[in-house]
Amino acid sequence: MLRRAGPSLCHFLLERNSGAGRSSCSREAKMSRPVQARRLEGIDKNIWVEFVKLAATYSKVNLGQGFPDFPAPDFLTEALSRALGGGNHMLHQYTRAFGHPPLVKVLAQFFEKLLGRDLDPMTNVMVTVGAYQALFCCFQALVDEGDEVIIIEPFFDCYEPMVKMAGGTPVFVPLRPNPPKDGKLMSSADWQLDAAELASKFSERTKAIVLNSPNNPLGKVFSRGELGLIAELCVKHDVLCISDEVYEWLVYDGKQHIRIASLEGMWERTVIIGSAGKTFSATGWKVGWVVGPDRLLKHLRTVHQNSVYHCATIAQEAVAQGFQRELMLYGKPESYFVQLPKELQQKRDWLVQSLDGVGMKPIIPEGTYFLVADISQFKSDVPDVPDSDEPYDYRFTKWMVKNKGLAAIPLSAFYSEAHKNNYTNFIRFCFAKEEATLKAANDILQKWKQEKTSS
Amino acid sequence: TMPFRHKNTRRIEGLDSNVWVEFTKVAADPSIVNLGQGLPDISPPSYVKEELAKVAAVDRLNQYTRGFGHPSLVKALSQVYEKVCGRKIDPLTDILVTVGAYGSLFSTIQALIEEGDEVIIIEPFYDCYEPMVKMAGAKPVFIPLRFKNDGNSASSADWVLDPVELANKFNSKTKAIILNTPHNPIGKVFTREELQVIADLCIKHDTLCISDEVYEWLVYKGNKHIKIATLPGMWERTVTIGSAGKTYSVTGWKLGWSIGPEYLIKHLQVVHQNTLYTCPTPLQEALAQAFWIDYRRMDDPDCYFYSLSRELESKRDRMAQLLREAGLKPVIPDGGYFMIVDVSTLNVDLSDVDEKQPYDYKFVKWMIASKKLSAIPLSAFCGPETKKEFEKYIRFCFIKKDSTLDAAEVILKNWNKQTG
């Protein structure tokens, strides 16, 4: 049996003896095993820790991490102020563990409309600390050691370590780019799954597939046909679907976000994940939710009650009021769910123009507030280093933030270790930014281009 | 159609039931005087609420902050605890902010405990320790506090560990011991000597100490909260957990923290970045501001850390008096905001209640139904072997406003006048 690598407690005591006074490591102590649990193996690295620090240190214009730099809507912050000013100091105390009643009730009402089925707020909805914790509950509740989980690349980076922490085996299947023949800019729709390749990934050990639509980082909005393909395989192999739909309201060009849970045979095997942070441009509130059948959610409840137990009351109260407003205004022009995508589409188009204008080739996203650009025609400043242990796009983005003050995220960050070198000429920008920010980004890019052409 | 094969994962097998889910439902009726679940019905201090109101107006505070803890909050925590511990605490490497102390317990256990490990849990215990240890695949090893009293008025100090019994629980598989001081539910404040016994064993057997100190500020006259991490040889093996909810009477803010040496905290940070990544920004900022206010007056008796404790001491004494008047013998806590009492002396006959539940569960349900007063049964806080010893106790929470205690007084004064 292999001894695990890593420092043991005893080892550290001996190293730190200087601070402790007397020697505290007894020779009788039999334990000299590593202090950390095995479930942490291979999941300690995290792209955000590194890139957030870089952006904080060097960036003048941050289009890296995905959060808006424009304010959360007034009606949401006013709801928080009202809750605070209302004199009900019990809003500062614990609420119902599985979700503040006003919030789960309005979420049930909302999703009843969207899914066309009756929902019980107490059993078909649970509130979590952001969509992140919803994902965690899914994997911990449903993925056992030896289970396989299919992850579509490129993927929001936490899926892989979460599957591993649950003892599962991630199985990757890529979206492959099929560039248009007419030389026009690619759309996220041009990145597609190969049906046969996808089918080959399902085995008798497959427990679940993680779907993220609209997709971060590409912005792809899976079509009904594409979802149908996935659904068919899920039903055929009796596999669960963890459906990360945090960008559900951010779809452009009149496209429609289709919920896989509404497809035949899917409700009973799907957990839908949503986020107030993305829905209401308030990522720092960390309010998320799951919607699904009780027979799956009951296991998520068990994980939740044994990990965080409650979510912050007052944030849930304010989000509930935000949803009440949207319920009343649903489909109307004043609805935030109508206005926000409209605004973001303009910003998307602006950034697309900006990048295209300097020779970076943007892939036009159908949804989300991310955009991936092909930098292969723009890379002269950062030479290829054949034996570098870092993919090209990591080096490019690090150079760019340090030398140009513009922060973006390398696309390889959204690929598994084995596939990190498949797409190294792409970087991801976030365009949920004020006009001034996008203009400043354009200025940097224009100046950079001029420097390149004049040299 | 195929039978549905998707059941729960092994790690959560048997962990679905929970005393709170059961009893908060039963006590939700507003006509019931609720002294059960540990949540204050007193208002948090006004400056704490004001800080949150101020924060609501600042745009960037509605977006993500630093994952391991909002900078101004970890800075404030490091200052406060440097003063308390008398050692340098690095805000970036020695602290993790979590979703309540509950989240700290979870992060610590997931980071450092696994299958093959044993974890010593002192009974009675805050109920989540056992399922969390099990969820990590480890084996809980219980040791009870035992009541040693010569017949005088009972105090939480009378509940003690037998040092020989404790020593026998340690072996080469023991990864950690979970300490809770001040203790929930009994209110015991472990003395320096008692902590030294535990520390000696941790050092001898090279184990970790997970020290749940959420009630650290709530100690009553004649008692001092001592951090086991400050004992020689203990800083490097201890994770100390604190709670905003208990410190500032804001349980609904769900912010807690773990403090310890970098080489332990870094593993908790890995768990955190793979479970929920960040805690809410506005609440962390408001908490930081509240901490600065109290940090500046830490040498002043008006500091909330001390003033809350004084306020609660008089509530404690009142609660004890009311229980005595009803013919009960409360165990006077030296800290925390809970009080346990032996109800077997009332001789309420519940043998005809046809449930396989322990006596205290039946008693509390009966008390809720017939007296409109709620509490929590103590056997919820113990392992399977000691249920018989603890099932005659129930726990009352006294961090309640005067009108709540007034209502409890009416019920307790009239207790013997009503027929069961």
In the block, residue with structure tokens 């281009």: A449
Are B52 and B37 in the same domain? no
**pLDDT > 90 in chain A, percent:** 85
Euclidean distance between CA atoms B249 and B398, whole angstroms: 13
| A29: amino acid identity, one letter | A
Q: Note whether B274 contacts A158, CB cutoff 8 Å.
A: yes
Q: Work out the average pLDDT over B297-317.
A: 97
pLDDT of residue A19: 36
Mean pLDDT score of chain B: 94
pLDDT band, residue B345 (cuts 50/70/90): confident
* CATH code: domain of residue B31: 3.90.1150.10
* A229 near B CB under 8 A: no
Domain contains B2? no
* A283 near B CB under 8 A: yes
Domain contains B275? yes
Are B59 and B32 in the same domain? no
Are B289 and B321 in the same domain? no
How many other CB atoms are there within 10 angstroms of residue A331's CB atom? 9
Query: pLDDT by residue (tens digit) across A110-154?
Result: 999 999 999 999 999 999 999 999 999 999 999 999 999 999 999
Q: Note whether A315 contacts B283, CB cutoff 8 Å.
A: yes
Q: Which residue has the higher pLDDT, A131 or A22?
A: A131
- With CA atoms as reference, the chain B residue closest to A52 would be B66
pLDDT band, residue B18 (cuts 50/70/90): confident
Per-residue DSSP letter, A92:
G
Best residue in A1, A3, A18, A35 for a mutation probing chain B (most B CBs within 10 Å): A35
Q: And the tokens for B221?
A: 């006259």
Are B169 and B249 in the same domain? yes
Q: What residues pair up with A407 in beta bridges, in sequence order?
A: A62
Q: Work out the average pLDDT over A388-397.
A: 92
Q: Which among B102, B233, B267 has the least Cβ separation from residue A20?
A: B233
Q: Domain containing B120: what range? A: 46-296
Q: Work out the average pLDDT over B115-135.
A: 97
pLDDT of residue B25: 76
Are B148 and B266 in the same domain? yes
Q: Note whether A9 contacts B237, CB cutoff 8 Å.
A: yes
pLDDT of residue A25: 40
pLDDT band, residue B420 (cuts 50/70/90): very low
Domain-terminating residue out of B296, B311, B335: B296
Angle between helices B304-325 and B402-413 (to 10 degrees): 10
pLDDT of residue A24: 38
Euclidean distance between CA atoms B125 and B386, whole angstroms: 12
Q: Contact at 8 Å (CB) between A228 and A113? A: no
Cα separation values, A153 from A51, A160, A194, B194, Å: 20, 11, 12, 55
Looking at the 3D structure of chain B, how many domains does it have? 2
Domain contains B63? yes
Are B126 and B71 in the same domain? yes
Best residue in B99, B115, B120, B129 for a mutation probing chain A (most A CBs within 10 Å): B99
pLDDT of residue B170: 98
Domain contains B5? no
* CATH code: domain of residue B69: 3.40.640.10
Domain-terminating residue out of B280, B296, B312: B296
Domain-terminating residue out of B244, B266, B296: B296
pLDDT band, residue B17 (cuts 50/70/90): confident
Q: And the tokens for A351?
A: 């950034």
Domain contains B100? yes
Are B256 and B290 in the same domain? yes
- The secondary element (H helix, E strand) that includes residue A411 is none
Domain contains B386? yes
**pLDDT > 70 in chain A, percent:** 93
Are B105 and B202 in the same domain? yes
Q: Could you tell me if the ipTM is greater than 0.90?
A: yes
Q: Note whether B252 contacts A37, CB cutoff 8 Å.
A: no
Q: Work out the average pLDDT over A438-448.
A: 96
Query: pLDDT by residue (tens digit) across A274-290?
Result: 999 999 999 999 999 99
- With CA atoms as reference, the chain B residue closest to A128 would be B276
Query: pLDDT by residue (tens digit) across A246-257?
Result: 999 999 999 999
Cα A160 to its chain centre, rounded Å, is 12
Are B152 and B267 in the same domain? yes
Which chain A residues are Cβ-neighbours of B202 within 8 angstroms? none
User: To 5 degrees, how large is the angle CA B310–CA B44–CA B364?
Assistant: 75
Domain contains B107? yes
Distance from CA of B226 to the nearest CA of A (A): 18
Between strands A125-128 and A288-291, the pairing is antiparallel
Are B144 and B281 in the same domain? yes
pLDDT band, residue A35 (cuts 50/70/90): very high
Domain contains B163? yes
pLDDT of residue A5: 36
pLDDT of residue A11: 42
Return the C-alpha torsion angle A291, A281, A370, A231, nearest 10.
Answer: 10
Strands (E), B25-173: 33-34, 95-98, 118-123, 139-144, 146-147, 159-160
3-state SS class at B260: coil
Are B81 and B225 in the same domain? yes
Query: pLDDT by residue (tens digit) across A297-307?
Result: 999 999 999 99
pLDDT of residue B3: 64
* Interacting residues of B95 by C-beta distance below 8 A, sequence separation 6+: B68, B69, B74, B77, B78, B89, B257, B258, B259, B265
pLDDT at A23 over 60: no
* B46 near A CB under 8 A: no
Are B74 and B26 in the same domain? no
